[in-house]
Amino acid sequence: MRYRAGMSTQFKAVHGAMQAWVDGGILAGASCALLSGGAVVDSHCAGWADKEAGTALREDHLFRVFSNTKLVTSIAALQLVEQGRLGLDEPVESYLPALGGRRVLRAGATRLDDSEPARRSITARHLLCHSAGLSYGFLDPGSLIYQAYTARRVMHADSSLEGLIAALAPLPLTFHPGEQWEYSIASDVLARLVEVASGQRFDRYLAQAIFAPLGMADTCFVIPPDKHGLLTAYYAGASRNDPTVPGLRRLAGSPYPGAYLAPVARYSGGGGLVSSLPDMAALLRSLMPGAPCALLRPDTVAAMMRNQLPPGVRIGFPTVGAVPGKGFGLGGAVILQPGADDPPASAGEFEWGGIAGTQWWINPRHNIAGVLMAQRQMGFWHPYTFEFKRLAYQALLA
């Protein structure tokens, strides 16, 4: 990865902080890149790709990016919107008939049939900003919808994207489309929508329309055999409740045995990709103002980074509650009002990340961006990601 010569000393605090998280036993390794004005101005790796083997982390190592995949899926859908092959606000049943005639669980429902007709159809816009009334189930274990999703095997990789739609077809929504926010399987539904609208299998569309134009040679659902050794080891922290407790436990076969090493039935639009630091930087660069390698029109990118939720609706999670000051755009969260953990200058930022410790952000107001790649379970919105971003803003805006 190229960056401006002589600029790296400006980012010593960022590098030192990431090394400290490695030395403190919180991270096995961390790779990060910072962009300003569309140029990569800093790139740095600290720690280990495989701690036990003593393999130093390099820029060509591959990470499980999980929900970073959602950004790619969102770009794919919006490309088809620009081409007139997909309607952003058209009823989803125009493309996926099985998802028409939705019903919605009534408040306090204890049975799946305690439901009422949906007030409106799901649209691609709802799917992009997770306001469709779908769920992930596993984020709210024990709930009625969790039990239903488990019984129908909604989350399983052994079912195709087409099979996912069939699994969801008889299940009610958790709220009326467009009225609330819930992190969900929506991006996988969107991936199937991309297939139907484009006439191509999802992985092939991404390879042709996004990865090839941006030179993202190391981003894929299935790692070629000659690159298997580049996949980083994956770790869990010593304490699930306190992310600052030192110690790491190596995880094997996660999210399932053989993941990313062999083809599966479902190429998940919500979390199925692996990627490298240079590839993720190239993706972010394509969304920055004046990008020479833009995949979308400027007005589409502006809409992506604008809050799409109804007035008063903010994002939140079942075990965490509401996240004040954050809305959601077409593929990522939008910082409306910086919180205690956000840099003061971060208003207007577009951001998201993955559960394995990867995170990206773009601030169009300042024309800066950053990506952090780690391999720690439950590492999204973790103390190390907050410190990375705070120090990155300080360095980039100095």
Q: What is the pLDDT of residues 265-294, one digit of tens each?
A: 999 999 999 999 999 999 999 999 988 889
Q: Which domains does the chain have, with CATH numbers?
A: 8-62+216-396 (3.40.710.10), 74-202 (3.40.710.10)
Q: What is the pLDDT of residues 298-321, one digit of tens each?
A: 999 999 999 999 999 999 988 778
Q: How many Å is the Cα radius of gyration of the chain?
A: 20
Question: Span 30-47, mean pLDDT?
Answer: 96
Q: What is the pLDDT of residues 162-206, one digit of tens each?
A: 999 999 999 999 999 999 999 999 999 999 999 999 999 999 999
Residues 127 and 186 sit within 8 Å (Cβ to Cβ):
yes
pLDDT at position 8 is 62
Residues 238 and 377 sit within 8 Å (Cβ to Cβ):
no
pLDDT tier for residue 1 given thresholds of 50, 70 and 90: low
CA atoms within 13 A on the CB side of 84: 0
Question: Span 350-379, mean pLDDT?
Answer: 96
Q: Is 103 helix (H, G, I), strand (E, B) or coil?
A: strand
DSSP lists the bridge partners of residue 107 as none
Q: How many whole angstroms separate alpha carbon 193 and alpha carbon 122? A: 12
Q: How many whole angstroms separate alpha carbon 134 and alpha carbon 139? A: 12
- In order of 33, 37, 63, 355, the CA distances from 323 in angstroms are 26, 29, 27, 17
Give the chain's largest Cα–Cα span.
Answer: 64
Using CA of residue 9, residue 15, residue 19, residue 21, what is the dihedral sign?
positive
Q: How many whole angstroms separate alpha carbon 207 and alpha carbon 220? A: 8
Q: What is the pLDDT of residues 354-365, one digit of tens each?
A: 999 999 999 999
pLDDT tier for residue 3 given thresholds of 50, 70 and 90: very low
- In order of 78, 88, 125, 192, the CA distances from 92 in angstroms are 15, 9, 10, 11
The residue written with tokens 């019903």 in the block is 103
